[in-house]
A and B are shown apart, each in its own frame.
Chain A
Amino acid sequence: MKVLNRRLQHIIKGSLGQFLGMAVIIAVGISLYIGITTAFFNLSQSQHSFYQDNNFADHYFYIVRAPESILKQVEKVPGVKLATGRIQKDIPVLKDNQERATVRITSYRLPLDREVNSIQLMGGRLFSSYPASGGMEVMVNPAYFEANRLSWGESIDIVAENRKYPVKVVGTATGPEFTYIMKDAANMMPDNETFGIMMIPLNQAQQLFNLPGQLNQVLVQFVPGADVDTAVQSIKDILSPYGNLASFPRQDQLSHAALDAELTGLDAISGFLPMIFLTVAAAVQFVILRRMIKTQRTQIGILKALGFDNTQIILHFSTYAILICAIGAAIGIGSGVYMASYFSDLYAMFFNLPQAIGGLNYQVILNSILLSLGVGALAGFSASRPVLEISPAESMRPLPPSRSSRSLLENWAWFWTRLSSSWKMAFRTISRNRFRLLVSIFGIVSAVALLILSMFTNDAVDYMMDQHFNKESSYDYLLTFSQPVKDSELLNIARLNGVEHIEGFFSLPVRVHYLGHSEEDVLIGIDPANTLKRPTRENGQFIPIPDDGIILSRRSAERLGLKVGDTVQLETLLGLGPARYAQVKITSINYQLLGNESYITLTQANRILNEARLVNGALMQTDSSQTENIEKHLADMTGINSIVSRNKERDNILSMMDSMIYMVSIMIMFAVVLGFVIIYNSVIMSFNERKRELAALLTIGFTRQEVAGIMWKETIPQAIPAVLLGLPAGKMLAELYFSSVEFDMWYMPVVIYPSSYAMAALGGVVFVLLGQWAASRGIKKLDIIELSKNID
């Protein structure tokens, strides 16, 4: 076997380019496998332990107000493990620079470990329910603390019930419901400067909102195996006298849904992405080995004649493939661990998980080794089977010329007769090696599809931003008021210097009922003449607000199985006064990309509430030169709960997108490497197979460039259709990926700009050119003297 091993060394040396190329493909596949799978495990482990350690709620119940004693009744419901009550409400923060921010006041009762949705201290200290120095102590989430450059003990002003209160920030904390902090589903990304979580003692919250001994939320954890539906209904029955505003399970909690969507995406991509590379690698290795065994047939015959058995010879050739995979795995593990660390850092940036998202996952590394060696063994052993058929005597005779047959194209006589000999050669060679052709096409299609996949995320986000910021909405500021006001009061804001246009709206939380099922939704009442924010159809066209009827959100329509023409019952969940009901007919479905709200006329919204001309928010268009002045005046108005600047929102998203560019670049590089190696291997194999023929062409008077041109003619009919096929394949891959990571709150269509298709096609051309060039260098070294030697 030592001799065979030495022989193997020579074979590897003689095919070093192919050997290393395949090892690189394996390395890429293994890197992606380790990087993505480790990130998935790390993230889900962190999520799991964080949820477990902090008693993440299974179900949320929002009520108008209820006494604390209600918790004892809730805890007695069969299946309930733990119940906690709290107060949660969004209020404005007055910042030093006149800017407004919003914080979500969330109350906690000490000690924390017996609370559902507990929090974990990250810095500073825990607040005191009764500070010795008086006043109010709070904690905020770390991202808000850093974005606003706060310091321990700093005092900030909050506004609750139209009164200003100074509070002291003593610590930072995070909880399982705050891993991805967004104000609501209308935001694409967290904006840590203008929205944060403020944690305060329950008694302080009750004082702030004039809710003595009361709660406005109940959080419940169920025992494993409990009949959750029955338990939820029982709890709703208990809470109904206190104004059941909303109830939803953990899976609909915004933060969890965002994290879950990310995990689902990772899980999906960890499955198919590495497999593309490993499958291509296996197929190409199979083809290479088959080719090798065919050309070394005489030598195999000699080995058999000397006394080596089939097993030894098969093992000898299979070792070639296994070595490729072993080296690829070694490189891949190193780069995969680095990639895992990079992804983990990226996730740490996005998700506020307290434990480090990192560390080696030895199971994944072991799996990757087994996977890689498995690929090598599979390719090696299956390709080596022809060794069994070689007999020593037969193998010594020169091989007859390869069987050639007519290409299908020859049936098209008009075309065929016009082809030169070299084109005919090319088409027949392709026709003769159909499996190799399929492998090449599959490889090139995969590479181009990966290029599309890399670029489409950018396109989709770019499209969403364009739709959201330039088409669906054209306001500069969105204001929400702490109380509904008459629309005539908007004149106070309209009169401000720089305000060009203002439109009021009424945002009404509702429950949509249909055939015994219901979904929570947000109903926006706007004047039909409003232009600053409008619902859209699937094709992006604006939908006019009907005088009668509702434009229902896509989310509610999908969840309740509703379509245009159906009639639903709306139940208001305002928390002020009794719930109101109304029957409305669905006139359209709203496909706005962000926000997912339902729309109705302002008149209808007021009619449902038995009111007239009330608004609780406004959209403004302003003169950009007056921004500072406007923001200063708005900040002083205490009746305004929150001020959202669209420009700041856009800038925030763009800064988050920068980190994606690095990932996209890596993916593009991998795709080009894959395509390059496919073409390189295909050309090298064809070249090696026809060395004598090509040398003969040199002898009869073809130049080396002309011979290289003949090789080109074999590549072009494979490469061009494959690159073109890769474009729709890339779109399909994008759709497949997206369908596995649908996030309820956003509707992201699969958008790929023509420029991305063009770039992907260009990328395909680049790797075809590079691969062809690299492989064709052998033509320069083609030794025509070899032809005078008679060994095949």
Chain B
Amino acid sequence: MDKSILMQLQNVTKTYVLGEIKVEALKETNLDIYQGEILVILGPSGSGKSTLLNLIGGMDKPSTGDIFFLDRNLSHASDRDLTLFRRREIGFVFQFYNLVSDLTARENVALAASLVSKPLDNREVLDQVGLADRGDHFPSQLSGGEQQRVSIARAIVKNPTLLLCDEPTGALDYQTGISILELLKQARQTMGSTVILVTHNTAIGAMADRMVRMRSGSVADIIINESPVPPERIEW
């Protein structure tokens, strides 16, 4: 694993105001993210893991603190700059896929590819996720696992620096979930992307290079995994 730092979070907090209530979703957090690693963020519901992922992915700005991507400070970036950051550097995989229902699998991938100047080849990417022969199907014609594969293909076609996954196996059965994890690991190997995975499933932590445990909005622990386990050997 390349140890150069890709992103740095320094004293980052995030507070949401919901009516009269202030929710401190993320308390003072410091975290470095390394190029090419698989980082798994673990924690129960409400621990702040999704908030952390959203901040890393440029989907939100911190209330206080700084987030550096290489030498760029994203904390004070404009909406447009954050959009461009997400366009060029981030691939996002959601728990419920969020595909465009009116586009086929191939077209969903092409949609993302259209955003960057040098995307990967649509067909190759679909082939990589094992859906070369299902490219002309609409999401309603695909199983949950197949939809998630399309979602991954859509994320990686941009050749992103960071691949962020929010509970990617949360809506899938065990076998399908394992196959998704295998794809994510493959993406790191073939493209060199940094993969950050948020999950409440502690078993998935075994495949990580590092695990970040979240509790009540704070980083409770950061564990280096000396021997990451291949996805096919993970059980839950």
Contact with A along B51-70 (1 / 0, CB 8 A): 00110010110000000000
Q: Which of B107, B110, B116 has the most CB of A within 10 A?
A: B107
Given known pairs A701-B86, A784-B59, A785-B54, the reply for A401 and B99 (CB within 8 Å) is: yes
Q: Are A403 and B107 in contact (CB under 8 A)?
A: no
User: Is A295 located at the chain interface by the 8 A CB criterion?
Assistant: no
Q: Are A428 and B53 in contact (CB under 8 A)?
A: no
Interface hit among A212-220, A610-618, A690-698: A690-698
User: Which A residues form the contact surface with B (CB < 8 A)?
Assistant: 398, 400-405, 420-422, 424-425, 428-429, 432, 690, 692-693, 695-704, 784-785, 787-788, 790, 792
Contact with A along B129-140 (1 / 0, CB 8 A): 000000000111
Contact with A along B110-148 (1 / 0, CB 8 A): 111011100000000000000000000011100000010
* CB-based nearest B residue for A428: B102
Q: Are B87 and A421 in contact (CB under 8 A)?
A: no
What would 20 more interface pairs be, CB under 8 Å, given A785-B60, A787-B98, A788-B59?
Answer: A400-B140, A404-B138, A405-B138, A421-B110, A421-B114, A425-B103, A428-B102, A432-B102, A696-B99, A697-B111, A700-B92, A701-B86, A701-B115, A702-B83, A704-B83, A785-B54, A785-B59, A787-B94, A788-B53, A790-B95
In the bound assembly, the distance between CA atoms of A785 and B61 in angstroms comes to 11
Q: Are B94 and A696 in contact (CB under 8 A)?
A: yes
Contact with A along B85-112 (1 / 0, CB 8 A): 0111011101110111111000100111
In the bound assembly, the distance between CA atoms of A784 and B140 in angstroms comes to 23
Chain B residues within 8 Å of A422, by CB? 111
In the bound assembly, the distance between CA atoms of A40 and B65 in angstroms comes to 72
Question: Of the candidates A404, A695, A700, which one forms a contact with B87 in the assembled complex, judged by CB atoms under 8 Å apart?
Answer: A700
Chain A residues within 8 Å of B50, by CB? 788
Given known pairs A701-B84, A703-B80, A785-B59, the reply for A404 and B102 (CB within 8 Å) is: yes
Chain A residues within 8 Å of B111, by CB? 421-422, 697, 700
Given known pairs A700-B154, A701-B87, A701-B115, the reply for A424 and B107 (CB within 8 Å) is: yes
Q: Are A790 and B107 in contact (CB under 8 A)?
A: no
In the bound assembly, the distance between CA atoms of A792 and B50 in angstroms comes to 17
Chain A residues within 8 Å of B158, by CB? 700-701
User: Is B37 located at the chain interface by the 8 A CB criterion?
Assistant: no
Q: Are B100 and A693 in contact (CB under 8 A)?
A: yes
In the bound assembly, the distance between CA atoms of A159 and B205 in angstroms comes to 115
Chain B residues within 8 Å of A693, by CB? 98-101
Q: Are B115 and A401 in contact (CB under 8 A)?
A: no
Chain B residues within 8 Å of A784, by CB? 59
Q: Are A403 and B140 in contact (CB under 8 A)?
A: yes
Task: Say how far B171's CB is from chain A's closest CB, in angstroms.
Answer: 8
Chain A residues within 8 Å of B96, by CB? 398, 790, 792
User: Is B24 located at the chain interface by the 8 A CB criterion?
Assistant: no
Task: Say how far B162's CB is from chain A's closest CB, in angstroms.
Answer: 13
Chain B residues within 8 Å of A704, by CB? 79, 83
In the bound assembly, the distance between CA atoms of A405 and B167 in angstroms comes to 29
Question: Of the candidates A398, A424, A699, A701, which one forms a contact with B102 in the assembled complex, judged by CB atoms under 8 Å apart?
Answer: A424
**What 10 A-B pairs have minimum CB-CB distances, sorted nearest first?**
A701-B87, A696-B98, A428-B102, A401-B139, A421-B111, A401-B101, A788-B50, A404-B138, A402-B101, A425-B102
Chain B residues within 8 Å of A421, by CB? 100, 103, 107, 110-111, 114
User: Is B166 located at the chain interface by the 8 A CB criterion?
Assistant: yes
Q: Are B90 and A401 in contact (CB under 8 A)?
A: no
- What are 13 A-B contacts with C-beta separation under 8 Å? A401-B101, A401-B140, A405-B138, A421-B100, A421-B111, A424-B102, A425-B103, A699-B86, A700-B86, A700-B115, A700-B155, A701-B90, A703-B83
Interface residues of B in 152-189 (CB under 8 A from A): 154-155, 158, 166-167, 170-171
* CB-based nearest A residue for B88: A701
Provide the main secondary structure of the chain A interface: helix
In the bound assembly, the distance between CA atoms of A699 and B158 in angstroms comes to 13
Q: Which of B54, B79, B86, B111 has the most CB of A within 10 A?
A: B111
Chain A residues within 8 Å of B101, by CB? 401-404, 690, 693
Chain B residues within 8 Å of A424, by CB? 102-103, 107
Chain B residues within 8 Å of A405, by CB? 138
In the bound assembly, the distance between CA atoms of A696 and B98 in angstroms comes to 6
Q: Are B103 and A428 in contact (CB under 8 A)?
A: yes
Chain B residues within 8 Å of A398, by CB? 96, 171
Chain A residues within 8 Å of B87, by CB? 700-702
Chain A residues within 8 Å of B53, by CB? 788
* CB-based nearest B residue for A693: B100
Q: Which of A400, A404, A699, A787 has the most CB of B within 10 A?
A: A699
Q: Are B147 and A401 in contact (CB under 8 A)?
A: yes
Interface residues of B in 70-84 (CB under 8 A from A): 79-80, 83-84
Q: Are A788 and B86 in contact (CB under 8 A)?
A: no
In the bound assembly, the distance between CA atoms of A404 and B103 in angstroms comes to 8
Chain B residues within 8 Å of A787, by CB? 94, 98
In the bound assembly, the distance between CA atoms of A327 and B100 in angstroms comes to 38
In the bound assembly, the distance between CA atoms of A422 and B114 in angstroms comes to 10
In the bound assembly, the distance between CA atoms of A424 and B111 in angstroms comes to 10
Chain A residues within 8 Å of B107, by CB? 421, 424
Chain B residues within 8 Å of A692, by CB? 98
Chain A residues within 8 Å of B92, by CB? 699-700
* CB-based nearest B residue for A429: B102
Task: Say how far B88's CB is from chain A's closest CB, in angstroms.
Answer: 7
In the bound assembly, the distance between CA atoms of A512 and B154 in angstroms comes to 85
Interface residues of B in 4-58 (CB under 8 A from A): 50, 53-54, 57
Q: Are B140 and A402 in contact (CB under 8 A)?
A: yes
Chain B residues within 8 Å of A792, by CB? 96
In the bound assembly, the distance between CA atoms of A425 and B107 in angstroms comes to 9
In the bound assembly, the distance between CA atoms of A698 and B79 in angstroms comes to 11
Question: Of the candidates A401, A699, A702, A788, which one forms a contact with B138 in the assembled complex, judged by CB atoms under 8 Å apart?
Answer: A401
In the bound assembly, the distance between CA atoms of A421 and B116 in angstroms comes to 14
* CB-based nearest B residue for A403: B140
Task: Say how far B201's CB is from chain A's closest CB, in angstroms.
Answer: 14
Chain A residues within 8 Å of B155, by CB? 700
Chain B residues within 8 Å of A699, by CB? 57, 59, 86, 92, 98
In the bound assembly, the distance between CA atoms of A38 and B92 in angstroms comes to 63
* CB-based nearest A residue for B86: A701
Task: Say how far A791's CB is from chain B's closest CB, in angstroms.
Answer: 10
In the bound assembly, the distance between CA atoms of A335 and B170 in angstroms comes to 56
In the bound assembly, the distance between CA atoms of A403 and B95 in angstroms comes to 20
Q: Are B147 and A700 in contact (CB under 8 A)?
A: no
Chain A residues within 8 Å of B99, by CB? 401, 693, 696
Task: Say how far B140's CB is from chain A's closest CB, in angstroms.
Answer: 5
Task: Say how far B156's CB is from chain A's closest CB, in angstroms.
Answer: 11
Task: Say how far A247's CB is from chain B's closest CB, in angstroms.
Answer: 73
Q: Which of B84, B88, B116, B138 has the most CB of A within 10 A?
A: B138
* CB-based nearest A residue for B113: A421
Q: Are B102 and A698 in contact (CB under 8 A)?
A: no
Given known pairs A398-B96, A784-B59, A788-B54, the reply for A701 and B83 (CB within 8 Å) is: yes
* CB-based nearest A residue for B92: A699
In the bound assembly, the distance between CA atoms of A267 and B157 in angstroms comes to 65
Q: Are B167 and A790 in contact (CB under 8 A)?
A: yes
Q: Are A698 and B83 in contact (CB under 8 A)?
A: yes
Chain A residues within 8 Å of B103, by CB? 404, 421, 424-425, 428
Q: Are B59 and A425 in contact (CB under 8 A)?
A: no
In the bound assembly, the distance between CA atoms of A354 and B41 in angstroms comes to 88
In the bound assembly, the distance between CA atoms of A429 and B101 in angstroms comes to 9
In the bound assembly, the distance between CA atoms of A398 and B95 in angstroms comes to 12
In the bound assembly, the distance between CA atoms of A638 and B91 in angstroms comes to 100
Task: Say how far B147's CB is from chain A's closest CB, in angstroms.
Answer: 7
In the bound assembly, the distance between CA atoms of A698 and B98 in angstroms comes to 12
Task: Say how far A649's CB is from chain B's closest CB, in angstroms.
Answer: 63
Q: Which of B103, B154, B171 has the most CB of A within 10 A?
A: B103
Task: Say how far B46's CB is from chain A's closest CB, in angstroms.
Answer: 12
* CB-based nearest B residue for A420: B114
Chain A residues within 8 Å of B167, by CB? 790
In the bound assembly, the distance between CA atoms of A429 and B147 in angstroms comes to 19
Task: Say how far B168's CB is from chain A's closest CB, in angstroms.
Answer: 12
Chain B residues within 8 Å of A428, by CB? 102-103
